[in-house]
Amino acid sequence: DGGITQSPKYLFRKEGQNVTLSCEQNLNHDAMYWYRQDPGQGLRLIYYSQIVNDFQKGDIAEGYSVSREKKESFPLTVTSAQKNPTAFYLCASRTSAQAGTQYFGPGTRLTVL
Amino acid sequence: AQSVSQHNHHVILSEAASLELGCNYSYGGTVNLFWYVQYPGQHLQLLLKYFSGDPLVKGIKGFEAEFIKSKFSFNLRKPSVQWSDTAEYFCAVIVGGGYNKLIFGAGTRLAVHP
């Protein structure tokens, strides 16, 4: 059963702590993305990666970091530098053959207390 | 900067009513256009897309959208909605050479009452 998994579904952290969100895909897709979804603002791109060991900042990368050591994995770290980290985080992936058609995971809701 | 505007943030309809959700983008060059849908408790998924050719595109579940280049619009339509169409709908655009970065609108929450 192919798809994108994100864990955990809900995550709570204290202010000032770094936290890493997991994203795994078994679709053999080259490109992977991280978005942040806030009510009334749609999805905003945090980071994206076209291939292994390469990634680019999106529109709101400040306070976040990523790695892409394996094709199937693209973890996102929300650092203490992110001023407003409480949000819904979505991971997506795309095959090179289908421009624009991204497949999304179920999301992780992060709450910073 | 490129942007996507969805004018209706919340829409409430009765079953069998017709639906039209507005989407406008701000970019003068080549664009590829998309509508994504997020049903309650489900993953965000592609509803339909436009790349070239016939500006009227058909998607899943009876949805269609029309690309009007002169109006920078890509409105989503459905002649008769069902309760199961209750969801949040996102318009998105890829601008030319943008490494397939999708730019999303703010979304429209549709509630369909039986």
Give CA–CA dist A82/A15, Å, rounded: 10
In terms of C-beta distances under 8 Å and separation of at least 24 residues, what long-range contacts does B93-97 make, across chains too? B93/B2, B93/B4, B93/B25, B93/B27, B93/B31, B93/B32, B93/B33, B93/B34, B94/A99, B94/A100, B94/B31, B94/B32, B94/B34, B95/B2, B95/B27, B95/B29, B95/B30, B95/B31, B96/B29, B96/B30, B96/B31
- Asked if pLDDT for residue A19 goes beyond 80, the answer is yes
pLDDT score, position B101 = 81
- Asked if pLDDT for residue A111 goes beyond 70, the answer is yes
Q: How many residues does chain A have?
A: 113
Tokens at A38, concatenated: 């806030």
% of chain B with per-residue pLDDT over 90: 76
pLDDT score, position B13 = 97
Q: Which residues does chain B have within 8 Å of residue A41's beta carbon, measured at their own beta carbons?
A: 106
Residues in A lying within 8 Å of B, measured between beta carbons? 4, 31, 33, 35, 40-45, 48, 50, 56, 58, 90, 92, 94, 99-107
- Asked if pLDDT for residue A104 goes beyond 70, the answer is yes
Distance from CA of B109 to the nearest CA of A (A): 10
Q: List the single residue in A92, A101, A106 with the smallest CB-CB distance to B49.
A: A101
- Asked if pLDDT for residue B96 goes beyond 70, the answer is no
Contact A45 B102 (CB under 8 A): yes
Please write the tens of the pLDDT for every residue from A27-73.
999 999 999 999 888 899 999 999 999 999 999 999 999 999 999 99
pLDDT score, position B108 = 96
% of chain A with per-residue pLDDT over 70: 98
Looking at chain B, which residue has its C-alpha nearest residue A40? Answer: B106
